[in-house]
Amino acid sequence: ILNVEQSPQSLHVQEGDSTNFTCSFPSSNFYALHWYRWETAKSPEALFVMTLNGDEKKKGRISATLNTKEGYSYLYIKGSQPEDSATYLCARSGSARQLTFGSGTQLTVLP
Amino acid sequence: EAQVTQNPRYLITVTGKKLTVTCSQNMNHEYMSWYRQDPGLGLRQIYYSMNVEVTDKGDVPEGYKVSRKEKRNFPLILESPSPNQTSLYFCASSLSGTTNEKLFFGSGTQLSVL
């Protein structure tokens, strides 16, 4: 994998469903993995920054895991709510100074 | 309130007319950066600055200029805008610029160049 890839590009889920999406990235020279939540017409906001293989982070109903050896991170949302509707961006760093962003997963939670 | 402030939110201009998008942060952050967001692509870095008077090119610097005369301000300058610079622009900052720190983003500037 040469770039940061996110899948799926978009998905629709029903309120109350749990969901997850993937961020794949080059595993060599890994430094950090970021997740951001971006609501339409607002600023992207940081959810998590992870650096160690096996890291797991949790914030309310949202959690993330990191596998640096195989180059992927999962973001999980438990019991999705309409207010979770947003684009979720991941970004990977191969050095201390440079972040490369994926194109995002657009989540729509239907009431 | 800690924030990154960008202005304007929306801007329509014509090819060749110089423009500046302002960015200011009130968190005493050393690191500031500009990104552009285009459909189907991730945020791409235009320029970044590690501190006052220290700036460097990102991935897509062509057609843009920046300056960092004060720690809090990092304006993005388009000397001669072209239609391919129509995009959504974000300014971001972090404490010292190491990538294990989260970025704080401004609210974005939607630029249309006719």
Would you say B55 and B68 are in contact if contact means Cβ atoms under 8 Å apart? yes
Residue A85 has pLDDT above 60, yes or no: yes
CA gap B65, A69 in Å, rounded: 38
Bridge partners for B105 per DSSP:
B92
A13 interfaces chain B, CB cutoff of 8 Å: no
Beta strands B76-78 and B65-66, pairing class: antiparallel
Give the model's pLDDT for residue B42: 86
CA gap B51, B69 in Å, rounded: 9
CA gap B25, A100 in Å, rounded: 22
**pLDDT, tens digit, 9 for 90 and up, residues A42-83:** 999 999 999 999 999 999 999 999 999 999 999 999 999 999
Give the model's pLDDT for residue A55: 94
Per-residue pLDDT in tens (0 to 9) along chain B, 114 residues: 889 999 999 999 999 999 999 999 999 999 999 999 998 888 999 999 999 999 999 999 999 999 999 999 999 999 999 999 999 999 999 998 888 899 999 999 999 999
Enter the tokens of residue B6.
Answer: 């960008």
Question: How close B52 comes to chain A (CA, Å)?
Answer: 17
Enter the tokens of residue B106.
Answer: 């401004």
Question: What is the band of A92 on the pLDDT scale with cuts at 50, 70, 90?
Answer: very high
Residues 40-79 of B with CB under 8 A from A: 40-45, 48, 50
Enter the tokens of residue B84.
Answer: 């391919």
Query: Which strands sit side by side in the sheet containing B65-66, from one edge to the other?
Result: B4-7, B19-25, B76-78, B65-66
**pLDDT, tens digit, 9 for 90 and up, residues B67-86:** 999 999 999 999 999 999 99
- Residues in chain A with CB shorter than 8 Å from the CB of B100 are 31-32, 49, 51, 93
Give the model's pLDDT for residue A1: 53
B100 interfaces chain A, CB cutoff of 8 Å: yes
Residue A104 has pLDDT above 90, yes or no: yes
- Residues in chain B with CB shorter than 8 Å from the CB of A30 are none
